Amino acid sequence: MKSAVRSWVRQRPKAAVAGAAAVGAVGVAVALVATLSGGGGGGGSVGSGQQDDAAARSSATPTSRAPGVKTAPTPTPSPTVTETKGPIGDGSTAYTGPQPHQPKPEKLKPGEKPPQFVVFSWDGALENDDHLFSRFRELAKENNANMTFFLSGIYLVPDTKRSLYHPPRHAAGASAIDFPTDAHIKETLEQLRLAWQDGDEIGTHFNGHFCAPDAGGGGTWSTADWREEIAQAYSFVEHWKTNTGFTDLPPLPFDYGRELVGGRAPCLEGQKNLLPAAKALGWRYDASSPGDFQLWPARLGGVWNFPLELMPYPGKDFQVLSMDFNFLYNQSGGEQTQGDPAKFGDWERETRQGYLNGFERVYNGNRAPLFIGNHFETWNGGIYMQAIEDVVKDVCHRDGVRCVSFKELSDWLDVQDPAVLAKLRDLDPSESPDWTTFLSKNPDE
């Protein structure tokens, strides 16, 4: 007989999920706040009026279209695997061999306690004036961690070339986030090179960050729309030299067709129609699910499903999603990104403890991977960035903990016995069995 927690997970009443911030609030609001890491100097968000203006200013018709893709203005990328080292295409990328600093996945032995995986992931992956990309890339390196950086493709497209982007169901050049400055493109390229060489994953956050049905967001897109969006995400990485004219810069040291194996949709919208496109491309996982309890992952639509997770909110009788925005939502009251400075210290401690609550529950329980999602932002004086830094420095050094990327977690899951994973999935988050007998030689026992 399963515990009350299992019953709660199965039913998941919406009112109990996130207290003051219902799960649905994530998809509605992240579109606004994610733009704080946009180009143009790391300034404010793009409101609806600015978005409409962006569409009006960029109605130019592109001079070429991709064969087989109705609206993409750049050549459709082919996510094929290269074996010969050297530049690819226009030299924007190059195959330099297997990625360094990748752990070898090993199958659990009978009676072995599973590792405690923790995945820190970042939506947007722009190096702007706040230098948060470099800050957390270096933090990962210093703390024996690999992270996942989800790159928004338009962060490699100059504002003067915005009409190259043809978002599904929007005018050419429209975007809900800012296009970057030339300086920020160059700085972002440098961080992408270093991150991959450090062992971090470069995933995708797609391109224009459209959210909400009335704004033509990803939740309204068809699978064909997602294929079109993905084709451009590949192409903006594979043709940044052509699009920017920065031909004197070195290539990114990876074949994006090989390296890109998953992403997170803006505002966690549209996973149902995204999954068939992801599977057709051979992607390994998707991190676009809007939230679930801390259980071992399962495949959904043929790929590993890595949702944000519900964690005990400190001092409250509800759960909070494992993302910076959801702490902001509960603390500042909705979408207010700069609340009362007198409360910043308490909110920072509360956020740090919230992540640690989620970590401790599974570390001392079912050992399900902990997924933490973030944006490069300075909300409430940067307290969420400091809270995450503190958590990285704490948990990544604990016994049995592996701070890995989503790609590395996929590698590990792929080599496990399916029957063992099924048994792990049947554990409640705080349920800690006798591991020496629970994962016996015969997982069906």
The mean pLDDT of 249-265, rounded to a whole number, is: 97
Q: Do the beta carbons of residue 272 and residue 109 sit within 8 Å?
A: no
Whole-number percent of the chain with pLDDT over 70? 80
Residue 2: what pLDDT? 41
CA distance 1 to 260: 41
Q: What global pTM score does this model have?
A: 0.84
Q: What are phi and psi of 78, to 5 degrees?
A: -115, 110
Residue 292: what pLDDT? 87
Q: Do the beta carbons of residue 117 and residue 297 sit within 8 Å?
A: no
Residue 381: what pLDDT? 96
Residue 290: what pLDDT? 86
List the domains of the chain with CATH numbers.
4-46+103-438 (3.20.20.370)
pLDDT tens digit sequence for 163-192: 999 999 999 999 999 999 999 999 999 999
Confidence of residue 4 (pLDDT cuts 50, 70, 90): very low
Residue 190: what pLDDT? 98
Q: Do the beta carbons of residue 286 and residue 275 sit within 8 Å?
A: yes
More confident residue, 88 or 47: 88
| Cα 208 to Cα 176, 179, 328, distances in angstroms | 6, 9, 23
| Cα 157 to Cα 56, 355, 371, distances in angstroms | 18, 35, 29
Residue 440: what pLDDT? 77
Does residue 44 register a pLDDT over 80?
A: no
Does residue 63 register a pLDDT over 70?
A: no
pLDDT tens digit sequence for 91-113: 999 999 999 999 999 999 999 99
149's tokens: 């950086």
First to last CA, the chain: 16
Confidence of residue 442 (pLDDT cuts 50, 70, 90): low
Does residue 369 register a pLDDT over 70?
A: yes
| Cα 405 to Cα 145, 217, 259, 280, distances in angstroms | 8, 27, 12, 22
Residue 82: what pLDDT? 57
More confident residue, 53 or 399: 399
Residue 57: what pLDDT? 26
Confidence of residue 81 (pLDDT cuts 50, 70, 90): low
Q: Do the beta carbons of residue 369 and residue 405 sit within 8 Å?
A: no
pLDDT tens digit sequence for 348-363: 999 999 999 999 999 9
The mean pLDDT of 336-354, rounded to a whole number, is: 96
Handedness of CA 338, 27, 268, 182 (dihedral sign): negative
Averaged confidence pLDDT in the chain: 84
